[in-house]
Chain A
Amino acid sequence: MKAFSDLLDRLVLTPSRNGKLKLLADYFRDTPDPDRGYGLAALAGTLDLRSVKPALLRELVLERLDPVLFQYSYDYVGDLAETIALVWGGGEKDDTTDEEQPRLSEVVTMMNSLGRTEVRAAVRNLLDHLDPAGRFAFLKLATGSLRIGVSARLAKQALSDMSGKDVTEIETLWHGLAPPYEPLFAWLEGRAEKPVLATPAIFHSVMLANPVETGDLEKLDPADYAAEWKWDGIRVQMSSYGGTKKLYSRSGDDITGAFPDVVGAIDFEGVVDGELLVGGTMRSNSPTRTFSDLQQRLNRKTVTSRMLDDYPAFVRAYDFLFEGDQDIRAKTFLERRERLGTVIEKAPHDRFDLSDLVPFSDWKELDRLRIEPPDPVIEGVMIKRRDSPYQAGRLKGPWFKWKRDPYNIDAVMLYAQRGHGKRSSYYSDFTFGVWTQTPDGDQLVPVGKAYFGFTDAELEVLDKFVRDNTVERFGPVRAVRAEPDFGFVLEVAFEGINRSSRHKSGVAMRFPRIARLRADKLPRDADRLSTLTAMIEAASPST
């Protein structure tokens, strides 16, 4: 654990990419198997570790520490895992030596072998045997929030740096291997042949697009690019080989079990990239349904036949990575698409269709199409270089996404809460509301919560307003003054809006963020709930 916790401590504070790569490569080189493999898994997000609930951790720490002293400590540090790592043992002298500390692989094996009733004692014992850095690393892993600015991609680059092997080669193998990656390290160190993948029906890292930014398109020739609609579903990869059929999310999670309707209909071999949607395909001439309908099918392990009937899923195909077992990623986008068309043509028409190309002659025309798409479930356009090979990651140049402009409303700040981590000393989570008519006259009703979108300078302004205008406190939450002629108006941008029975207002926004501080407006000028419900109606298909 020591090597891994030291690495984390350094990575958290190392801003430069090259510095991180050096630290990672050294770790992979100097740490023995299987520890380094689990370390790699932890960084790349593939580590399967029994999770521990924060409530249990609190209980454990309070067995030995006065709750008031714990609260003072937590308020000061602002991060639960770090607080517990530091105060563990009630603040007595800590004399754990490096040799006594369990290895990362031991921690993983032990945690994953525990029965439900054994967790409490095992975690207590483990925390007793780790030093503060080790406790921090363990707690971050076990609570599933290892945010240290290292992507899976960077970890793979470090493997490449350490071995001299090409990173795309590592990328290709990646999803066919599992922690602790011993065959991978053996190959990287030249001690063994390249691992042979048991099944080609594995996930292959997807190619991502960059958002179009000001000035990007002017430099490009529209004739070099093709455009497609950007559908508002979730990006998936279908992988089928030798009878094994899988459906993966964009990050490589296996979601096969939740979509038997789609997976069962796969009658081709190869790897297809597409958008998972609910409703009917274009080939069956029925409408694509909204993201909120798709949400009914997401995050479920199993699915009822009722769900299958009410929310039928299908895949709108975008791209073709493997045709049978032949890797065609190096071919051009247009060529891959042509082959994809042939396969989709023969596949069941109610479960698969091919994403249309959108003809356009110049960027201005495409801009008009983007702003007024022909279907409400379209959220913009994708722009792809006609000759682009399929390359994993988010390269700048070959693919762009150009989204419809976000929705905007003016809302009034109602409540504020302190942020965490870097922002633990600021009020940075804001609940905002809009006006609605009630029997008692117009009142503000909360419609959402946003905690980003503002600059550091704007945060200072927001924080000061909260501190100066608190009218009530509910635990960590402060209610602020919000009257027709006094309050803080926020311009909130969001990507979509749905009906919601969970919220008092009956609406739920997607991806809300604070676009601007509207010091020039009074709360009485803010939007009304009826404006939001009208947005929902406008976004729903006519069926």
Chain B
Amino acid sequence: MKPEALLHPTPAGLFCPIGRFHVDPVRPVERALITHGHSDHARAGHGKVLATRQTLDIMRIRYGEDFCGAEQVAAWGERIEIDGVTVSFQPAGHVLGSAQILIEKDGLRINVSGDYKRGVDPTCASFVPVPCDVFITEATFGLPVFHHPDPKAEIGKLLTSLKQFPERSHLVGAYALGKAQRVIRLIRDCGYDEPICIHGALAKLCDYYQGQGVALGDIRPATIEKSTPDLFKGAVVVGPPSAFQDRWARRFNEPLISFASGWMMVRQRAKQGGVELPLVISDHCDWPELLETIREVAPSEVWVTHGREEALVRWCELQGLPARPLHLVGYEDEGD
């Protein structure tokens, strides 16, 4: 069987015609397999959804009780039959509940890795390399310029700045699902015990993470209390980056804008976004990790879904490894 007969790109996303299901579809479909809870991969309105327990929980938190017609839990490694196709979920190390989905039929193995990373992250299960014939990878940071440094050293920059500018509120931009909780956890692991204030958009997901055993320490809502105008002086405030341009940010004392993202590796990106303190912390692979993973998985073919596809395809070609870009649309590579 040709791999394309088992799985191929369509406008709605990757589609398996034999099992009649989509993976991470960007439009409502009858049957969806979801790798993880980020909104560009996990959308509301599908008929049936198969995903990990945590991904389903996250979708419920974000979209409400009726986010789909029917849900089915995939346990790690459990082999599930769908119309003669076997699928199984393995950890991807991206955010809590994130999975790679292995699709098998007649000995042909295609692994959809979803978004993934290889670095240590205490807030989710680590990536497991899965042997396969076709490895479908993202390429969000698929350029040799991207190297994610040690995240603890990045948090060190934040703690240094807190000492240098003790009167300024340090606003740390981090996406609500995954990055925010990871950043808070990293700050704790670096020995910072003061209360951390969070934007309202983070509250439910932080509670969920804590309920799943990810300790975040003393976190408080970043709301104003009239009696203590200096409340946020020198405080660490974590919120979605979009909120920092908003009225919401005016309550803080001389805010110092920080942003935890892999994009912060490029100075001009940081500068254009008005970021004073970039923290290069990513939930995706950097370039060396992408290459390392492809070498480790050793597939006979690589398909690249989204990001800087052309560079990763070029690298595969230089290695003599067949590769093709899938040009899938609808995944926002900015979301890191």
Contact = CB atoms under 8 A, between A and B. Distances in A.
A82 B267 contact: yes
B217 interface: no
Contact of A422 (B146, B147, B268): B268
B311 A69 contact: yes
A86 B268 contact: no
A227 B311 CA distance: 62
Interface string B57-80: 000000000000000000000000
Contact of B147 (A13, A19, A78, A94): A94
A529 B277 CA distance: 51
A79 B144 contact: no
Interface in A80-130: 82-83, 86-87, 90-94
A13 B315 CA distance: 33
Interface in A302-348: none
Contact of B291 (A68, A79, A91, A422): A91
A87 B144 contact: yes
Of B144, B277, B314, B318, the most chain A CB neighbours within 10 A belong to B144
A520 interface: no
B188 to A, nearest CB: 24
Of A9, A70, A83, A86, the most chain B CB neighbours within 10 A belong to A86
A91 B272 contact: no
Contacts of A421: 268
Given A12-B267, A86-B265, A73 B314 contact: no
Contact of A72 (B143, B165, B267, B270): B143
B318 A66 contact: yes
Contacts of B266: 76-77, 82, 86
Interface string A1-29: 00000000110111100010011001000
A68 B315 CA distance: 9
Of A70, A132, A136, the most chain B CB neighbours within 10 A belong to A132
B327 interface: no
Interface string B267-280: 11011101111100
Contacts of B277: 10, 13
Given A22-B164, A86-B144, A91-B291, A72 B268 contact: no
Contacts of A132: 147
Given A22-B164, A424-B268, A86 B145 contact: yes
B268 A78 contact: yes
Given A69-B311, A82-B266, A132-B147, A93 B288 contact: yes
B228 to A, nearest CB: 25
A65 interface: yes
Of B272, B275, B287, B291, the most chain A CB neighbours within 10 A belong to B287
A25 to B, nearest CB: 10
B268 A69 contact: no
B301 interface: no
Contacts of B267: 9, 12-13, 79, 82, 136
A279 B164 CA distance: 56
B308 interface: yes
B310 interface: yes
A73 B145 contact: yes
B117 to A, nearest CB: 14
Contacts of A26: 164
B287 A72 contact: no
A86 B271 contact: no
Contacts of A136: 267
Contact of B145 (A19, A22, A77, A93): A77
Given A22-B165, A72-B311, A422 B272 contact: yes
A123 to B, nearest CB: 19
A79 B265 CA distance: 13
Given A66-B314, A72-B308, A76-B308, A91 B164 contact: no
Contact of B288 (A10, A66, A73, A92): A92
Looking at chain B's contact residues, the main secondary structure is: helix
Of B265, B268, B277, B314, the most chain A CB neighbours within 10 A belong to B268
Contacts of B275: 13
Interface in B251-270: 265-268, 270
Interface string B5-38: 0000000000000000000000000000000000
A65 B144 contact: yes
A76 B268 contact: no
Interface string B135-179: 000000001111100000000000000001100000000000000
A76 B291 CA distance: 19
Given A13-B276, A78-B268, A86-B265, A73 B144 contact: yes
Contacts of B291: 91
B270 A13 contact: yes
B265 A14 contact: no
B126 to A, nearest CB: 18
Given A13-B276, A14-B276, A90 B271 contact: no
A71 B80 CA distance: 44
Contacts of A12: 267, 271
A304 B205 CA distance: 77
Contact of A69 (B144, B265, B288): B144
A384 B314 CA distance: 64
Contacts of A13: 267, 270-271, 275-278
B13 to A, nearest CB: 26
Given A66-B314, A69-B144, A76-B308, A91 B271 contact: no
Contacts of B278: 13
Interface string B208-231: 000000000000000000000000
A70 B315 CA distance: 11
A93 B274 CA distance: 29
A83 B267 CA distance: 10
A69 B165 contact: no
A15 B288 CA distance: 33
Given A66-B314, A72-B308, A90 B144 contact: yes
A76 B143 contact: yes
Nearest to B315: A69
A91 B312 CA distance: 12
B145 A79 contact: no
Nearest to A95: B150
A78 B274 CA distance: 18
Contacts of A82: 266-268
A19 B315 CA distance: 42
Contacts of B315: 66, 69
A76 B147 CA distance: 15
Nearest to A82: B267
Interface string B303-325: 00000101100110010000000
Interface string A131-162: 01000100000000000000000000000000
Listed from nearest, the 5 A-B pairs whose CB atoms lie closest are A91-B144, A86-B145, A87-B144, A93-B288, A72-B311
19 contacts: A10-B276, A12-B267, A13-B277, A14-B276, A15-B274, A15-B276, A19-B165, A19-B276, A65-B144, A73-B145, A73-B311, A76-B308, A78-B268, A82-B267, A83-B145, A86-B147, A87-B145, A90-B144, A132-B147
Interface of A: 9-10, 12-15, 19, 22-23, 26, 65-66, 68-70, 72-73, 76-79, 82-83, 86-87, 90-94, 132, 136, 421-422, 424
Given A13-B267, A76-B143, 16 more contacts: A12-B267, A13-B270, A13-B278, A15-B274, A15-B276, A23-B164, A68-B314, A69-B311, A69-B315, A77-B266, A78-B268, A82-B268, A86-B145, A86-B146, A86-B266, A91-B144
